[in-house]
Amino acid sequence: MDNRRARGALERAFAQLIRRGGKSFVMQVSEREALGFPGQQPHVANTVYALAVGLDAAGCGAYAIQGMGYVEHRKMPARIKRMADAEAARMAGAKARVELLEILDVDGLPQTG
């Protein structure tokens, strides 16, 4: 990983993974961090990013990152924007977790937790 911000996000995530005893989890990352990961698309307005990390059956670390955006209307009330942000974050986290589980399940032993 060449990008400093992306490396920093992974370092925080894997440190937390160790503190959690290896139990996989998802955390939100900033747009600047997310765009440092390989394969991430250029900036799209109102996109929230989630990073999922976990360990496979052999104890090797893996990660998945996903973004989810929404269309903001000109007259969208702040309350509705907060709800849209929260829903986008939830969906990005769910997508990242599914991708991580697919990665961890490569050897036929699904990750639990």
Q: Is the pLDDT of residue 110 over 60?
A: no
* Mean pLDDT of the residues in the chain: 88
What are the backbone dihedrals phi and psi of residue 44, each rounded to the nearest 5 degrees, phi first? -125, 130
Task: Express each pLDDT in 13-34 by its tens digit.
Answer: 999 999 999 999 999 999 999 9
Q: Is the pLDDT of residue 95 over 90?
A: yes
Task: Express each pLDDT in 43-52 by its tens digit.
Answer: 678 899 999 9
| 92 neighbors 68 (Cβ within 8 angstroms) | yes
Predicted pLDDT of residue 109: 47
The gap from C-alpha 65 to its chain's centroid, in whole angstroms, comes to 4
Handedness of CA 27, 31, 32, 35 (dihedral sign): positive
Q: Which residue has the tokens 């989890």?
A: 25
Q: Is the pLDDT of residue 88 over 90?
A: yes
Predicted pLDDT of residue 51: 97
